[in-house]
Structure 1
Amino acid sequence: MKKFFLSIFAVSALVTSCASEDDIYNDDSLKAYEASGEYFFANAQKELVDQLTTPSVNLNVFRYFSQYWAATTYRAESRYDLTTRNIPDNHWDNLYAEALGNFKKAKENILSESKPALMSEIEWNKIQQNRVAIIEVLMVYTYQVLVDSFGDVPYSQSLDIVNTPLPKYDDDAAIYPQLITRLNAAIAQMDTGYGSITPNQDLVYAGDVSKWKLFANSLKVKIAINMADVNNSLAKSSIEQAYAAGVIESNTNNALLTYNTFAPNYNLIHEELVQSNRNDFVPASVFVDKLNSLSDPRRPIYFTPLNGTTNTFVGGNYGYQNLLPYNDSYSHIGDKIKEPNLPGVLIDAAEINFILAEAAERGYSVGSAATHYESAVKASLTFWGINNTDATAYYNQSSVNYGTATGTWKEKIGNQAWIAMYNRGFESWTFFRRLDFPGIVAPASAYPIAEGEIPVRLTYPSTEPNINGANYQSASSAIGGDKLTTKVFWDIN
């Protein structure tokens, strides 16, 4: 049996038996068994989290977009050259083929399974409904990442290789409401009184349906807040409904995939920076200096102290080579960040509380903006191991406290979300595009393709103009040009 992934425009993952002209070779009695749907589900979960977690500049450059890290030698990606290594191609391929393709196959195989003999029809149907609903929720999550990365993307035809090998691109503004509809249906389908995915095949919540419902409602909040400036009525109703039903507001409910301490399933940051012994990154000074100005207690977790000190943190110059003696001139990526079993995060309490603070400021009935903001800041601190006393002391600084920090609500939330999302580059980039804070700017060394701006989308994969040309041209025209500066539909400020 061989698993293979089709080209990036076909975006389907299938399992097939090997084929040969030899009759014995093709004898069904010798054919490998089809893998279980739950196997594909676990694989898809890991592929999705890996893509959002990896620091490989071949796959994920969002830590650069948020100016968390600076390059030491190879600075092309920090200057927004995304085509040399085909970064958009790899991001697109991993999300469509490796994540969505496997989720699709998981659903198909699960639905084809037979009821165990000793299980009642009612229980079996409920378990099946829960399993399919959980898969649906993670497919919605993946599609949102694709839309937020590229704008218009294949959606309605994206996973039908037989009938539409060259899928059309759907309007990004039209996809978002459909994702809300799919989430509502999946949430309604979940029954916490029954089981779902086998615990060891659900790498995030071990089959806990109640936690998946919290996740689904939290995802609805994530999607809806992006629509606030373009479809306020749907955003408001969706967020209020999700909040009333229950969302992730404490770290105990965070959606985490915990990696192993051994190869090949350790955290990809560990793989890139420790196992591969790469010295390609140092923390960026723009970020380090911000945390220094706040005496932020996350500094010794996010970064290492400068050699020979205990509380001095120095970053590198973003967008440039940082070639001073590597060991002694800069702080480095923190040891905890590089641990092999550091969890990858899909949604956490800090993120959702920051969004709820924003929703409250927009007039939605979700409680107090100040309360959610405080909860968000403290959730990030305690997630990283800061004790409650020190977390409270940090929050009570006049430069952090919601009542006394300078700036608009967008600035207050944007700046603290930037700090909290340090190891979640993609989500940080989303906060930045929606709130326009923190006030980071493109480096003077940026490539002309960036037009002097931090990218607000990825360009389409380089293969699309040649392979799916007509649909590519239509989409490129519809969004206003396939450029790094073309905004996705919700980014109107």
Structure 2
Amino acid sequence: MKKILGVFLLTSIVFSACKKDLTSLNNDPKNPSIVPSYALFTNAQRRLTNTVTSSNVNLNIFRLIEQQWQETTYTDESNYDITTRPIPDDIWNALYRDVIYNFERTKALIPTDVTGADIQKNEIAITDVMQVYTYYYLVTTFGDIPYTEALDISKPFPKFDDAKTVYYSLLTRLDADIAALNTGAASFGSADVIYGGDVTKWKKFAATLKLKMGITIADLDNAKAKTVVESAVATGVFTSNSDNAQFQYLTSPPNTNPVWVDLVQSARQDFVACSTIMGFLKPQTAFADPRLPYYFTVNSAGTYTGADPGSSATFSLFSKPSGPLLVSSSIGKITNPDFPGLLLDYSETEFNLAEAISRGYAVAGSVAGHYNSAVTASITYWGASATAAAAYLLQPTVAFATATGGTDLHKIGLQKYLALYNRGWDAWTETRRLDYPVLTAPSTAQTAFPVRLTYPVNEQNVNVTNYNKAATAIGGDLVTTKLFFDKH
């Protein structure tokens, strides 16, 4: 009897223990079913910065398109082949799925997991600013895109909205976000890896993004651009490099600089300097650009040299993207694991202000003054001195009065191209928009210089009807189809 009772008690204990833990066994600690808004926000910031910073040939090939870098062995992307690898699909998925969707989930969760109406309002506005920023890259890369139905789970085959209409909607959203931001209240705190929850800085970021977006459509709709730009400046835009919006990467994985991951951690020798950008940085008979040793290393012979666009290149014979891990010097840093990723910076802002004045917009200062400030901001950001910047600006090919290019916009365009080194996506938008510097497609290229990316293959195969409508509406799903803003 005692034996039977013992077995019964043991069975009861085991059964009770199992019954008690059944629910908890369904919880996966590595994949929580409930994610707080701040965690989604931080991750979306990281994925966004990784996407625009990456040098992975499956995702971000804009340094190659812009002839800043050149491939050594596999030269498909340098020859404007964007279909052998699923590049459009990967960009589309990264920005829609990993960034915009997570920001949308952040906004939905804030009212239930954040205390304080003013804090909630700030966090929702900041998150929306980040969505606007992300959509900016999609619409200026592809043209017509899913927008009004993009995040509607009841619409698995979303329609593509007119690109200009999307763009103007983004500007409207940005105005609402700026108005909603309360600089007297807090926001995300340390969960915001860019500004640490500083609402004043986010308001300045939003206005600076608005300035950028206004300038982008200057050739499409000058009156609208003028209104947008003047309003942004009145709100208050970046005034120094300390305003730069950057994601500070760490020295150890997994949150390291994607360029370090692609070039150093992988121990690959895929990229060298391109002769196009090298020709601007190191003219044969003039003062070398002080950013040169910060952008690139010397080659095995101790000189700076770049490979021709589209051609294969022996790694040791050409300069490489600079960094102390690739050269015995402390000045290079682009390949450091903790080198920050930039989303928006002061140098770009000053170039935009210079252009605004050149176009006759009511902005304080002079074209030359903002141009000089832009060049100086870029040079000092990379680590060279203000003295070096001043000497560079005295060179006849650089000084605004005599600079290469002839027109104001060409002079601005060339220096902006150089300042946007390591931000190839933005450099691509500027060369499309200003048509300067003129980048000639390699003789071996598959197409002419691409002015857009084709739609993802997945959209062509799955969202067929809406894809066909969009392709027809923009004038053909080709890399040579100019987008709505590209009217210069």
Q: CA deviation at 1:410?
A: 1.6
- 1:131 paired residue number: 123
- 1:159 paired residue number: 151
- 1:172 paired residue number: 163
Q: CA deviation at 1:307?
A: 2.3
Q: CA deviation at 1:398?
A: 1.5
- 1:263 paired residue number: 253
Distance across 2 between alignment mates of 1:144 and 1:27: 44
Judging changes above 3 Å, is the alpha-carbon distance between structure 1 residues 23 and 433 closer, same or farther for their aligned structure 2 residues? Answer: farther
- 2:407 paired residue number: 408
CA contact (8 A) 1:249 1:350 kept: no
Q: CA deviation at 1:249?
A: 2.8
Q: CA deviation at 1:27?
A: 3.7
2:207 aligned partner, one-letter code: N
Q: CA deviation at 1:28?
A: 7.6
Aligned counterpart for 2:173 among listed residues 173, 182, 186: 182
CA contact (8 A) 2:350 2:371 kept: yes
Aligned counterpart for 1:281 among listed residues 271, 285, 289: 271
Which aligned runs of 4 or more in structure 1 are off by greater than 6 angstroms?
Answer: 22-26
Secondary structure class of the residue paired with 1:41: helix
- 1:446 paired residue number: 445
Distance across 1 between alignment mates of 2:397 and 2:219: 28
CA contact (8 A) 1:456 1:486 kept: yes
Distance across 1 between alignment mates of 2:438 and 2:319: 23
Distance across 1 between alignment mates of 2:386 and 2:37: 42
Q: CA deviation at 1:303?
A: 0.6
- 2:313 paired residue number: 322
Q: Structure 1 length as normaliser, TM-score?
A: 0.90
Judging changes above 3 Å, is the alpha-carbon distance between structure 1 residues 383 and 109 closer, same or farther for their aligned structure 2 residues? Answer: same
Distance across 2 between alignment mates of 1:131 and 1:191: 10
CA RMSD of aligned residues (A): 1.6
- 2:135 paired residue number: 143
Would you say 1:302 and 2:295 are equivalent positions?
A: yes
Aligned counterpart for 2:454 among listed residues 447, 455, 459: 459
Judging changes above 3 Å, is the alpha-carbon distance between structure 1 residues 410 and 114 closer, same or farther for their aligned structure 2 residues? Answer: closer
Give CA-to-partner distance per residue, 1:216-252, whole Å, 9 cap, x none. 0011011111111122121101100111111013101
Judging changes above 3 Å, is the alpha-carbon distance between structure 1 residues 415 and 157 closer, same or farther for their aligned structure 2 residues? Answer: same
- 1:431 paired residue number: 430
Q: CA deviation at 1:178?
A: 0.6
Aligned counterpart for 2:386 among listed residues 372, 385, 388: 388
Distance across 2 between alignment mates of 1:318 and 1:39: 42
CA contact (8 A) 1:53 1:424 kept: yes
Would you say 1:481 and 2:472 are equivalent positions?
A: no
Q: CA deviation at 1:403?
A: 1.6
Distance across 2 between alignment mates of 1:150 and 1:23: 54
Write out aligned runs for 1:52-451 (5 A).
Answer: 52-113=52-113, 115=115, 124-161=116-153, 163-198=154-189, 200-293=190-283, 294-309=287-302, 312-323=303-314, 326-327=315-316, 329-335=317-323, 336-367=333-364, 368-406=366-404, 407-447=406-446, 450=447
1:134 aligned partner, one-letter code: I
Secondary structure class of the residue paired with 1:214: helix
Distance across 2 between alignment mates of 1:23 and 1:346: 51
1:333 aligned partner, one-letter code: P
Secondary structure class of the residue paired with 2:343: strand
- 2:51 paired residue number: 51
Distance across 1 between alignment mates of 2:351 and 2:275: 24
Give CA-to-partner distance per residue, 1:280-315, whole Å, 9 cap, x none. 110001111211014101111101012253xx2011
Judging changes above 3 Å, is the alpha-carbon distance between structure 1 residues 24 and 469 closer, same or farther for their aligned structure 2 residues? Answer: farther
- 1:16 paired residue number: none
Distance across 1 between alignment mates of 2:194 and 2:484: 31
1:98 aligned partner, one-letter code: D
CA contact (8 A) 2:164 2:484 kept: yes
2:97 aligned partner, one-letter code: A
Secondary structure class of the residue paired with 2:246: strand
- % same residue: 45
Q: CA deviation at 1:112?
A: 2.0
Q: CA deviation at 1:30?
A: 5.2
CA contact (8 A) 1:58 1:86 kept: yes
Distance across 1 between alignment mates of 2:160 and 2:33: 35
Give the number of equivalent residue pairs: 453
Q: CA deviation at 1:110?
A: 1.1
CA contact (8 A) 2:114 2:120 kept: no
Secondary structure class of the residue paired with 1:372: helix
Q: CA deviation at 1:320?
A: 1.1
Distance across 1 between alignment mates of 2:64 and 2:299: 22
Q: CA deviation at 1:377?
A: 0.3
1:303 aligned partner, one-letter code: F
Distance across 2 between alignment mates of 1:191 and 1:281: 45
Distance across 2 between alignment mates of 1:383 and 1:485: 34
For structure 1, which runs of at least 5 residues remain unmatched after alignment? 1-21, 116-123
Secondary structure class of the residue paired with 1:346: strand
1:362 aligned partner, one-letter code: R
Distance across 2 between alignment mates of 1:24 and 1:137: 46
CA contact (8 A) 2:249 2:341 kept: yes
Structure showing greater Rg: 2
Q: CA deviation at 1:165?
A: 1.2
Distance across 1 between alignment mates of 2:105 and 2:482: 32
2:123 aligned partner, one-letter code: R
Secondary structure class of the residue paired with 1:112: helix
